[in-house]
Structure 1
Amino acid sequence: MGINGQDWASYQSAAPNTAGLSFAFIKVTQGMTYTNPLWTQQRDHARANGLVVGYYHYPEMGNSPQQEADRFLSIAQPQSGELVCLDWEGYDAENANVPKATQLAYKEAWLRYVKGRLPHSPVGLYCNTDYWTTIDTTKYFQDYLWIATSGRPAGQPGISGAWMFHQYSDSGGVDQDYCRLGSTAELHTWAMNFAPAPVQPAPAQGPKWPGVDLAQGSTGTYVREVQQRLHDRGWTVTVDGVFGPKTKAVVVAFQKDSSAHGWPLTADGIVGPATWAALWNRPVS
């Protein structure tokens, strides 16, 4: 039993129907000049409906794979748990005269270069069975293979490769896809497994957490300790024992900065046990 998805381009609407879907691949770029004008709306729509999101680039293989990849990544900017893919096919005018050996070399270079740029993201290859059987002599697809066939049942692409996704139909004016994993959660977990493990905090140092959250409106010695610690770490804050709006703003800024440096904190302006521990244990950057 697998799960269903679709791949979207500018031919689809900005908000396709997501009923019954677990994932969506969105075309972002083509070559060095084209960007799907709907891709950000489609991305936001997919995210809002709980879909695992993937982004793909359609190449013009006479160009530099590194330059095309750099442009694609500068636009797509995938988040953790989101997939990237090369849509490797070349039946259009831009690719028709590109030698097949060059097309193969482009694929190899693009995948390896993008994986080097995104070591903690799933990077994969889309191609049809013609390209898979006649042009791809290496069978290198990096982290996953998305194979396209015509007239075969979902989940039965008819190849021996270790495929993850199968594009099996274009019914209803949109490409229909299948993933061999069992649920949206399983696909999300698989994608997140590429992300680095969170940094584990060092053994507790500093004063013990007081056992109660400190937030706007709190006063007293513990608030003063938090303010003093923020001040000692280089943040501009008044050490007066009053947790006012300015103190909250500094706490939020500290939480965001901590998350950016591998100490994941919720940026809510509340000093709970995790934020308290980070104040004393996170190395000063």
Structure 2
Amino acid sequence: MLQGIDVSSYQSSDYDTDGLAFVFIKVTEGLSYVNPTWVAQRQTARDAGLVVGFYHYPHIDNDPVEEADYFLDQINLMPGDIIVLDWEWYGQDVSDESARAYRAAWLTHVKTKAPGHKIGIYSDRNNWRTVDTDSTVGDFLWIADYVRAGAPRIAYDWTFHQYTDEPLDKNVADFPSLDALRQWAGTGTSSPCEPFPGADWFRDEPDSPIVTAMGRRLVAEGCSAYTEGPSSQWTDADKLSYQRWQRKLGYSGTDADGWPGPASWDALRVPKI
């Protein structure tokens, strides 16, 4: 079995990757929270060559499609990235039926928006045994049960097992090798992206949802210069944010002037509207 961890804002962005094959990173919760360190945590995983998964913590009373889109809007999905619904709702006064309905709708919508990526759920053993009724897991089950690694007390086939939270959440994956895990995860395809609309398009002061989607990607990449927004109207804040993105990619001088070009645009991967 392979070793991995999962991290949220409670963990450092430069966590120790020695001996790890994979990491799951919390990105969003509900419709208003984004983990402020997730981009840096993702970079640590990418730099170490780990298989990377991203998860969303739901607020069950919200629209699952809206929450799914909010989650996906944050992420620059790459082939082989794994997607997880953290199927928990502590402190939320919701029925078991609502929790099951949310799960089904979220998984279905995300599978449609991110075709080919492995999409599954995280569940603790109690919810799995008492709330689940039809084993709706998408592509895989990540089960939490704090017992011996690789021996969760459930009958259903599992792919990942969280076996302790001391000193942090530790997991194993049921694969014989890292190559096997990568092959399983690597069938994913990147989400459809907006093609580069042309340099003159931005200079003509566009008012377009593409500008909003671009701004959200810049925020997700840690390049925000926004005091509010982003909005559909191209502003100086968009230009400054894009300049930060260009510099993050290594551009300088006139190549980092804040006006989008085809190479930096393709790297940003703005989701298709």
TM-score (norm 1): 0.66
Which of residues 163, 166, 175 is equivalent to 1:168? Answer: 163
How many Å separate the matches in 2 of 1:140 and 1:103?
11
Contact 2:150 2:161 in 1 (8 A): yes
Contact 2:119 2:139 in 1 (8 A): yes
**1:91 aligned onto 2:85:** no
**1:147 aligned onto 2:143:** yes
Superposed displacement of residue 195, structure 1: 4.2
How many Å separate the matches in 2 of 1:132 and 1:4?
23
How many Å separate the matches in 2 of 1:73 and 1:160?
32
Matches within 5 A, 1:1-285: 2-92=1-91, 95=92, 97-150=93-146, 152-172=147-167, 174-195=168-189
Paired letter, 2:175: L
CA deviations 1:11-32 (Å, max 9, x no partner) are 0001101111000000000000
Superposed displacement of residue 194, structure 1: 4.1
* Structure 1 runs of 4+ with >3 Å offset: none
Superposed displacement of residue 74, structure 1: 0.5
How many Å separate the matches in 2 of 1:84 and 1:9?
15
Paired letter, 1:35: V
Contact 1:78 1:84 in 2 (8 A): no
Superposed displacement of residue 53, structure 1: 0.2
Superposed displacement of residue 193, structure 1: 2.7
Identity, in percent, stands at: 42
Paired letter, 1:148: A
How many Å separate the matches in 2 of 1:24 and 1:175?
10
Superposed displacement of residue 134, structure 1: 0.6
SS at match of 2:45: helix
Q: Which residue of 1 aligns with 2:198?
A: none
Q: CA RMSD in A?
A: 1.8
Contact 1:111 1:123 in 2 (8 A): yes
How many Å separate the matches in 2 of 1:83 and 1:192?
9
Superposed displacement of residue 100, structure 1: 1.4
* Rg (Cα) greater in structure: 1
The unaligned stretches of length 5 or more in structure 1 are 197-252, 261-285
Paired letter, 2:94: V
Paired letter, 1:169: T
How many Å separate the matches in 2 of 1:119 and 1:148?
26
SS at match of 1:127: strand
Contact 2:27 2:56 in 1 (8 A): yes
Structure 1 range deviating more: 62-71 or 187-196: 187-196
Superposed displacement of residue 176, structure 1: 0.2
- The higher relative CO (CA closer than 8 Å, separation ≥ 6) is in 2
SS at match of 1:171: coil
Contact 2:28 2:35 in 1 (8 A): yes
Q: Which residue of 1 aligns with 2:243?
A: none
How many Å separate the matches in 2 of 1:169 and 1:140?
24
How many Å separate the matches in 1 of 2:140 and 2:70?
22
CA deviations 1:198-224 (Å, max 9, x no partner) are xxxxxxxxxxxxxxxxxxxxxxxxxxx
